[in-house]
Structures are given as structure tokens and as C-alpha cells.
Amino acid sequence: MCQSEEAEASLGLNSPDPLVREAFFMAHDYIDYVTTGGAGGSAGAAPSAGAAALRHAGDQLLTRFPIFFRRWPRVFRDVTERTACPVLVGILDEHFFPPVHGRRRRDLAWSAVLSVYVLAGQMALHCHQRGMLPVLPQLKECVGGYVERVICPEIRDKGGWSGFVSRFGPKPDLEVQVKKVCCWTLLVLTISILTYSLWKRRMC
């Protein structure tokens, strides 16, 4: 990667716009995550709430709908280092975000946003497995730039990435929720008993 490309690459991760910065964090982290083995690999902790939600949702998608992942090796079989990014953008435009001229897109679905990152991850995994390692930084910037250009304007007035985190982030399991309810119930009961005891003493 040349110096001008490195400068552009650092711009997204260091953008003053938190919406854009998160988009690039998620792109960089997810591609690193899937190409280093996923949940059982060597990736460290996610750098942000959005990245953590993306990891979790991608893993859930792989577990529940493995057929979604089986088709992409056939689609990507002729991809080269030179064509990886154009092919990715072409698929995204065709299947998820076809260009809309003269008006804004409506009813953006978080599932479509998830699909953008998951598809980019599958492209990166395909390239990684075939030794096309130099293309991985380009894919990170490609998908980050795509999300900045196409998705960020749509979610800016919808609370930003908080909706994505709420939809796809890890949820506490039932046991943890029950324990929390029990703890709060015991706390309220204890306070009530103490309050009643103090009131009774004053009345005596």
C-alpha cells in the first residue's frame, strides 16, 4: 500500500465523525476477526460496542443459516487481488443497496447493514485462504468507505449505531436476568423491612 493509500486508510479510523469512525472500526475488526479464526481464533476483544455486536451477529448467522455462507465460494472463485473490491461493491449495490437517483433510500433494514459486513468478511476469508493477503487492507477500507457513503447518511437521524447494537448485540441469558431480578427484589424487601423497623421504633 502506498503512502497516499495509507493516509486514506488512517482517515476513516481517525475520522472526527463518530458515525464514520465506528463504521471503519467495525470493518477492520470484523475482517480481522473472521480471518483469524472467529470466536475460537486469536482476535482480541472487540474495539467497540458496534464491533462486538457485529461479531456476535455474524456468528449467530453462521450457526443458524450456514447455507448463506456456502454460496459465496462459488461466487468468488474468479476473484483476484485487483478485482476483489469492485466485485464486492458490485454485489452490495445489486443485492442490498441498488443506487437510488434523486431521492433517499427508505426503510433501511439493520439486517441489510449486517449483510454488508458479513459479505465483506466472506470475501476477505476467501482471499485469505487463497493467499491474497495484500488485498485484506483494501477490503477493510473498501467496505468502510461503502458504509460511510451509503449507510451512514441513512442512520444519522436514527440514533446512529445504537440501533444496530440493540438489535444484534449479545443479550444477557435468562439465568443472569433472573438473578438480577432476584437481587433487586431482595434489596427492595430489605429496605422495606428496615424502613418498617425504624418507623415502628419511632412509634413506640
Q: What is the mean pLDDT of each run of 10 residues along the chain (204 residues)?
A: 44 90 96 90 88 94 82 86 94 77 66 92 94 95 94 90 91 52 52 59 64
The C-alpha atoms of residue 12 and residue 25 are separated, in whole angstroms, by 8
Produce one character per residue of 160-183: b if its CB has 16 or more CB atoms within 10 Å, e if not: bbeebbeebbeeeeeeeeeeeeee
Q: How many residues does this entry show for the chain?
A: 204
Are 73 and 126 contacting, i.e. CB atoms less than 8 angstroms apart?
yes
**Domain co-membership, 82 together with 179:** no
- The number of distinct structural domains making up the chain is 2
Question: What's the CA gap between 15 and 92, in Å, rounded?
Answer: 23
pLDDT of residue 173: 58
The pLDDT of residue 196:
52
pLDDT of 95 reads 77
In terms of residue numbers, what domain contains 24? 3-171
Nearest in space to 56 (alpha carbons), one of 171, 175, 146, 173: 171
Residue 68 grid cell: 448463506
pLDDT score of 106: 56
Interval 105-128: pLDDT, tens: 556 789 989 999 999 999 999 999
Give yes or no: residues 109 and 53 share one domain: yes
Do 100 and 46 share a structural domain? yes
Same domain, 142 and 89: yes
